[in-house]
Amino acid sequence: MRATQNSNASKIVALIVQKYGGTSMGSPERIKSVAQRVAKFKAKGHQVVVVVSAMSGETNRLIGLAHEIQKHPDPRELDVVISTGEQVTIGLLSMALIDAGLKAKSYTGAQVKILTNNAFTKARIVSIDEENIRNDLDEGKVVVVAGFQGMDENGNITTLGRGGSDTTGVAIAAALGADECQIYTDVDGVYTTDPRLVPEARRLKSITFEEMLEMASLGSKVLQIRSVEFAGKYKVKLRVLSSFQEEGEGTLITFEENDKMEQAIISGIAFNRDEAKITVLGVPDKPGIAYQVIGPVSDANIDVDMIIQNVGVDGSTDFSFTVHRNEFNKAMDLLKKTVQPHIGARDVVGDNKTAKVSVVGVGMRSHVGIASKMFRTLAEEGINIQMISTSEIKISVVIDEKYLELAVRVLHKAFDLDQESA
């Protein structure tokens, strides 16, 4: 909270950026109910900037249209087309706000002047000119900004990648020095794991940025990862909330682990079904081999996640890594046709029916025994661990995909995540 220098100088208000996703913009009724929510914040004396997504399904529809015209749509023109979804919702929401008796004004990304680089369809924000927004806020207006879009230095329309409205919201909050950036979505916060798998999963009151990045990249896709990175970098206070609930604290994403009220050792169990494992068998155990295996994979733009090289026996060793399941065939092909003959490996084998499960928590930094508890829990269920990797705040294992749900459930229980005080 802080005082602002507007006409209400005596009133303590906060500057809040609220971002509403596609489901919240999904129909005229929902847009009107967003306007009602914004009105409540205004009534409390807050200044509000609203960042919106396109109506749900709209961006997909536009991408589909583009592909019906051109097999590989021209990137500049694709951005011209797919940025229109948000231009519709800023206008509609502004109308709903005006109809609710508020002063409101819409801005496209270019009108704000959200300057990006020129990487069409995946542009990065370079700077935001926040002066007009500030003036409007001081005049008591609600400012409604189109998410997902910007403009490059030549005036071309750009977009920020799928889910990019989250990043717009955080970037605007950073530029304005907002007190809080609230992301309204169709879930009421970040959970200890996916509640569809584990009904006992609990909403977390808070989670650190680092944990959130692990949870997001591991499959708990609540926020666009870049928006979380952005918020961490610019110290934006970020909160995930449901747009369908009247009240609710959501989940606060904090900078410091000390900010967390009740420090749990483990915050959540993340998982990813899209993992595929590849093993190059019998590679010579000598310098340069890891490079000769991974180099061509990376040159082919295939993302690699876990990498494990075994201890060499008799001058040869095995080398395993994981890729996204969609890229499994491409990677297998590349390795069999070019890498295997080149380095003289015995064979290349793969398994695209694997999954990754991770326990995540900043608290594990100072605790031994997390790995042993995790491995024991899986062993007791007869689940074979195929690969292991660790970082300061997570331990991940690759297992057969058919044990994924069981593994997530037993780990969630073993780490007491279903208990309120966990």
Burial of 47 per CB tally in 10 Å (0-12, 13-18, 19+): buried
The partner residues of 358 in beta bridges, in order of sequence, read 270, 396
> Whose Cβ is closer to ligand ASP: residue 51's or residue 399's?
51
Instruction: Taking each helix axis as running N to C, give the angle between helix 75-82 and helix 58-69, from 0 to 180 degrees, rounded to the nearest 10.
Output: 140
> Whose Cβ is closer to ligand ASP: residue 26's or residue 350's?
26
Helix (H, G, I), strand (E, B) or coil at 329: helix
Q: Does 26 bind ligand ASP (CB under 6 A)?
A: no
One residue of 109, 147, 163, 169 binding Mg ion per CB under 5 A: 163
> Whose Cβ is closer to ligand ASP: residue 58's or residue 305's?
58
Helix (H, G, I), strand (E, B) or coil at 309: strand
Residue type, 214: E
How many residues bind ligand ASP (CB under 6 A)? The answer is: 13
Token pair belonging to 305 = 């996640």
C-alpha to C-alpha distance for 97 and 91, rounded to whole angstroms: 10
Residue type, 165: S
Q: Among Mg ion, ligand ASP, none, what does residue 350 contact (CB within 5–8 Å per kind)? A: none
Q: Among Mg ion, ligand ASP, none, what does residue 162 contact (CB within 5–8 Å per kind)? A: ligand ASP
Compute the least distance from the CB of residue 21 to Mg ion, in Å: 4
Compute the least distance from the CB of residue 184 to ligand ASP, in Å: 12
Q: Does 147 bind ligand ASP (CB under 6 A)?
A: yes
Interface region with ligand ASP, contact rule CB under 6 A, candidates 27-35, 120-128, 161-169, 369-377: 161-169
Compute the least distance from the CB of residue 148 to ligand ASP, in Å: 4
Compute the least distance from the CB of residue 179 to ligand ASP, in Å: 23
Count helices and strands (H / E) in the chain.
14, 20
Compute the least distance from the CB of residue 164 to ligand ASP, in Å: 5
Q: Which residues contact 265 (CB under 8 A, 6 or more apart)?
A: 361, 363, 364, 367, 370, 415
Burial of 281 per CB tally in 10 Å (0-12, 13-18, 19+): middle
> Whose Cβ is closer to ligand ASP: residue 86's or residue 275's?
86
Q: Does 21 bind Mg ion (CB under 5 A)?
A: yes
How many residues bind Mg ion (CB under 5 A)? The answer is: 2
Query: Could you tell me if 167 and 160 are in contact, meaning their C-beta atoms sit under 8 angstroms apart?
Result: yes
Compute the least distance from the CB of residue 23 to Mg ion, in Å: 9
- Residue 408 Cα distances to 132, 199, 203, 394, angstroms: 48, 12, 16, 14
The partner residues of 276 in beta bridges, in order of sequence, read 323
Compute the least distance from the CB of residue 24 to Mg ion, in Å: 10
Q: Does 165 bind ligand ASP (CB under 6 A)?
A: yes
Q: Does 185 bind ligand ASP (CB under 6 A)?
A: no
C-alpha to C-alpha distance for 71 and 58, rounded to whole angstroms: 19
> Whose Cβ is closer to Mg ion: residue 221's or residue 346's?
221
Interface with ligand ASP (CB under 6 A): 21-22, 53-54, 59, 85, 147-148, 162-166
Give contact residues for Mg ion (rule: CB under 5 A): 21, 163
